[in-house]
């Protein structure tokens, strides 16, 4: 393993940003945005109050005739779409104020008319989508109540101590001069009110960032429950993605196995057949023509050596014994030692991190493919291979990352039938992703991110059984 070298990987939008520093200071820095959200909410309460009055008045004016029913349907239809626009605007405001995501909504109902090619029919499908009705309930009832409560509490917190302070000043100013008991008691009471108002007001000001942040978090929680997508919809999407991943993984493994079978047939098998023929000819000529038999034996030795080298090259597609015996880091060290160009390995995985055996196996295949591509196509002088861990995008898991950097000519990308396309197929089956930065003239930085799972754990460098692995796609 070589000394550490600095590698600047490209910024990946899927990776979690580092947490902002500070606690109390961070709350003060976020206060202007959160106060802006609260202030605009107070204005929207007035606007929505007027629209709600018109809505319920329109519902009350509808009679039992056909015209009244059509009028009622038009009012409700327009209100559903207005509620959707307002809810979308509210999600954007919350993302700006608190920067917390809300689960996206699938606005297309799972019905025939919801998937119709006719725009009018699709628009009318809003009546069958429960999200529209939740948005309407949020816009007419929930948001006004929450915003009114927030505004009232903040105004009372600020106005109460301020009025107490002002009242104390009025009492002090209204006390007549002189040394009488009334003047002493009145002046002391006024000063006490002034002091109490100042202390309470200072406490409110000091705690205001946390108070406002608490109300914004409350609004976000309500919006996430009513304006976010259903968990069942997300599970259905995840199930579909898993099915796609499984199909892609099976396809990649099948392609790799067919390639391995073809390579064995075209390479070592032909050499072994030739070796068998040479040995048979040498056996026949060993008595009649010893010199010819000796030459045939030497040729057979050359054929066996070349066949052994080809078999070794093909076996690199399987889990090598070093990976099974000593773990991923030792296998990668052996891999970079055999690289065509000088390659440095840097291990940044903490000692306490446990890597599952299956993840180690796939990481080795992917690293082997990337290092091989670098030696074949990059025209580079040197390369670096970094093994590290990062926090998952949801903040609740860990990603294993392989970063390969070379100083070659650049221009790398995903092309059908090439090595990076095979890496992409393997990553689809693992639920990972690939990031390529390769401008013309270099450098090329390829970042592979693999989610860590909890099954089949094995520490880095530990032993553990592994199933036979198919080689990476060409």
Q: Are residues 297 and 337 in the same domain?
A: no
Boundary (domain end) residue, out of 315, 331, 358: 315
Closest CA to 448 of 15, 1, 2: 15
Calpha distance 461→474 (Å, rounded):
28
Q: What is the pLDDT of residues 55-95, one digit of tens each?
A: 777 666 666 666 666 777 787 888 888 888 888 899 888 88
Which pLDDT score, from 0 to 100, does residue 204 have? 82
Q: Are 419 and 370 contacting, i.e. CB atoms less than 8 angstroms apart?
A: yes
Which pLDDT score, from 0 to 100, does residue 26 have? 82
Backbone dihedral angles phi then psi of residue 442, each to the nearest 5 degrees: 80, 180
How big is the CA angle at 264 (ends 262 and 265), to the nearest 5 degrees? Answer: 65
180 pLDDT tier (thresholds 50, 70, 90): very low
Q: Does residue 1 sit within a domain?
A: no
Pairing of strands 354-356, 457-459: antiparallel
**Which comes out higher in pLDDT, residue 186 or 214?**
214
Boundary (domain end) residue, out of 273, 292, 315: 315
Greatest alpha-carbon pair distance for the chain in Å reads: 145
Q: Are residues 192 and 145 in the same domain?
A: yes
Q: Is the pLDDT of residue 171 over 80?
A: no
| Beta bridge pairs of residue 344 | 384
Backbone dihedral angles phi then psi of residue 101, each to the nearest 5 degrees: -75, 150
Helix (H, G, I), strand (E, B) or coil at 473: coil
CB atoms within 10 A of CB 28: 12
Closest CA to 446 of 427, 469, 473: 427
**Which comes out higher in pLDDT, residue 448 or 171?**
448
Per DSSP, helices labelled H in 178-230 are 181-227
Q: Does residue 242 sit within a domain?
A: no
Q: Are residues 436 and 326 in the same domain?
A: yes
Which residues are CB-contacts of 323 (< 8 A; sequence separation ≥ 6)? 330, 331, 360, 361, 364, 466
Q: Are residues 181 and 328 in the same domain?
A: no
3 pLDDT tier (thresholds 50, 70, 90): very low
CB atoms within 10 A of CB 294: 13
Region class of 467: left (phi > 0), else alpha (psi between -120 and 50), else beta: beta
172 pLDDT tier (thresholds 50, 70, 90): low
Calpha distance 430→446 (Å, rounded):
17
Q: What is the per-residue DSSP string for 158-175?
A: HHHHHHHHHHHHHHHHHS
CB atoms within 10 A of CB 23: 7
Backbone dihedral angles phi then psi of residue 354, each to the nearest 5 degrees: -100, 125
Q: Does residue 473 sit within a domain?
A: no
Boundary (domain end) residue, out of 227, 261, 293: 227
Q: Are 429 and 247 contacting, i.e. CB atoms less than 8 angstroms apart?
A: no
Q: Does residue 410 sit within a domain?
A: yes
Backbone dihedral angles phi then psi of residue 391, each to the nearest 5 degrees: -75, 140
Q: pTM to 2 decimals?
A: 0.47
Q: Does residue 232 sit within a domain?
A: no
Q: Are residues 174 and 262 in the same domain?
A: no
Which pLDDT score, from 0 to 100, does residue 9 have? 35
What is the number of alpha carbons within 13 Å of residue 171 lying toward its C-beta? 21
- In the numeric block, which tokens belong to residue 258? 């067919």
Q: Are 446 and 412 contacting, i.e. CB atoms less than 8 angstroms apart?
A: yes
Which pLDDT score, from 0 to 100, does residue 55 have? 72
Q: Is the pLDDT of residue 195 over 50?
A: yes
CA distances from 291 to 279, 286, 287, 304, 343 (A): 14, 8, 10, 20, 46
CA distances from 463 to 304, 334, 336, 388, 460 (A): 32, 16, 21, 20, 9
Which pLDDT score, from 0 to 100, does residue 385 have? 92
Q: Please classify residue 56 by burial: count the beta carbons closer than 10 Å to its beta carbon, then call 0-12 exposed, 13-18 middle and 19+ buried.
A: exposed
Q: Are residues 68 and 182 in the same domain?
A: yes
Q: Of 12-26, 111-125, 210-224, 324-338, where does the model show the most confidence?
A: 210-224
Least confident window among 169-183, 196-210, 459-473: 459-473
462 pLDDT tier (thresholds 50, 70, 90): very low
Q: Are residues 304 and 329 in the same domain?
A: no
Which pLDDT score, from 0 to 100, does residue 113 have? 61
Q: Are residues 112 and 219 in the same domain?
A: yes
Q: Are residues 117 and 212 in the same domain?
A: yes
268 pLDDT tier (thresholds 50, 70, 90): low
Q: Mean pLDDT over residues 11-39, rounded?
A: 67
Which pLDDT score, from 0 to 100, does residue 403 have? 92
Q: Which domain holds residue 289?
A: 247-315
Q: Does residue 216 sit within a domain?
A: yes
Q: Is the pLDDT of residue 457 over 60?
A: no
Q: Is the pLDDT of residue 200 over 60?
A: yes
Question: In which order are the strands placed within the sheet that holds 343-347?
Answer: 343-347, 383-391, 398-406, 444-451, 433-437
Which pLDDT score, from 0 to 100, does residue 178 have? 46
Calpha distance 75→57 (Å, rounded):
11
Q: Are residues 198 and 64 in the same domain?
A: yes
Q: Are residues 253 and 140 in the same domain?
A: no
Q: What's the mean pLDDT when you consider all of the chain? A: 74
Q: Please classify residue 285 by burial: count the beta carbons closer than 10 Å to its beta carbon, then call 0-12 exposed, 13-18 middle and 19+ buried.
A: middle
- In the numeric block, which tokens belong to residue 136? 């309407």
Q: Does residue 422 sit within a domain?
A: yes
Q: Does residue 158 sit within a domain?
A: yes
Q: Mean pLDDT over residues 149-164, rounded?
A: 85
Q: Are residues 192 and 44 in the same domain?
A: yes
**CATH code for the domain of 400:** 3.30.565.10
| Number of domain units in the chain | 3
With the C-alpha atoms ordered 279, 284, 287, 291, is the resulting torsion angle positive or negative?
Answer: negative
Least confident window among 149-163, 237-251, 393-407: 237-251
């Amino acid at each position: 393993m070589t000394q550490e070298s600095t590698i600047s990987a490209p910024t990946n939008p899927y990776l979690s940003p580092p947490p902002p520093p500070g606690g109390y200071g961070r709350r003060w820095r976020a206060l202007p945005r959160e106060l802006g959200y609260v202030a605009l909410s107070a204005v929207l309460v007035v606007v929505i109050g007027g629209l709600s009055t018109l809505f319920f008045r329109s519902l009350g004016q509808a009679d039992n005739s056909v015209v009244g029913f059509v009028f009622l349907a038009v009012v409700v239809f327009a209100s559903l779409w207005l509620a959707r626009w307002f809810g979308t605007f509210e999600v954007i405001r919350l993302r700006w104020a608190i920067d917390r995501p809300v689960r996206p909504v699938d606005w297309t109902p799972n019905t025939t008319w919801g998937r119709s090619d006719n725009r009018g029919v699709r628009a009318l499908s809003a009546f069958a989508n429960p999200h529209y009705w939740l948005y309407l309930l949020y816009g007419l009832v929930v948001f006004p109540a929450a915003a009114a409560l927030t505004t009232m509490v903040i105004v009372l917190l600020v106005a109460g101590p301020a009025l107490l302070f002002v009242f104390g000043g009025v009492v002090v100013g209204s006390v007549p001069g002189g040394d009488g008991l009334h003047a002493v008691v009145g002046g002391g009471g006024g000063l006490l009110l002034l002091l109490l108002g100042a202390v309470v007001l200072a406490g409110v000001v000091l705690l205001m960032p946390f108070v406002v942040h608490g109300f914004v978090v409350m609004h976000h929680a309500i919006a996430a429950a009513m304006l976010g997508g259903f968990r069942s919809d997300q599970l259905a999407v995840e199930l579909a993605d898993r099915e796609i991943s499984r199909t892609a993984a099976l396809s990649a493994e099948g392609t790799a196995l067919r390639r391995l079978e073809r390579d064995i047939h075209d390479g070592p098998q032909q050499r072994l057949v030739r070796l068998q023929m040479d040995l048979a000819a040498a056996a026949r000529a060993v008595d009649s023509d010893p010199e010819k038999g000796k030459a045939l034996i030497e040729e057979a030795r050359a054929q066996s050596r070349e066949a052994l080298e080809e078999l070794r090259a093909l076996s690199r597609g399987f889990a090598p014994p070093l990976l099974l015996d000593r773990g991923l880091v030792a296998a990668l060290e052996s891999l970079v030692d055999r690289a065509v160009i000088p390659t440095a390995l840097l291990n940044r995985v903490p000692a306490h991190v446990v890597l599952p055996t299956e993840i180690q196996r796939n990481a080795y295949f992917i690293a082997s493919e990337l290092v091989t591509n670098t030696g074949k196509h990059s025209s580079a002088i040197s390369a670096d291979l970094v093994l590290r861990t990062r926090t998952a995008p949801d903040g609740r898991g860990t990603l294993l990352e392989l970063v390969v950097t070379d100083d070659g000519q650049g221009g790398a990308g995903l092309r059908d039938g090439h090595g990076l396309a095979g890496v992409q197929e393997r990553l689809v089956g693992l639920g990972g992703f690939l990031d390529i930065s390769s401008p013309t003239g270099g450098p090329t930085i390829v970042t592979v991110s693999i989610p860590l799972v909890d099954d089949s754990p094995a520490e880095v460098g530990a032993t553990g059984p592994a199933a036979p692995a198919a080689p990476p796609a060409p």
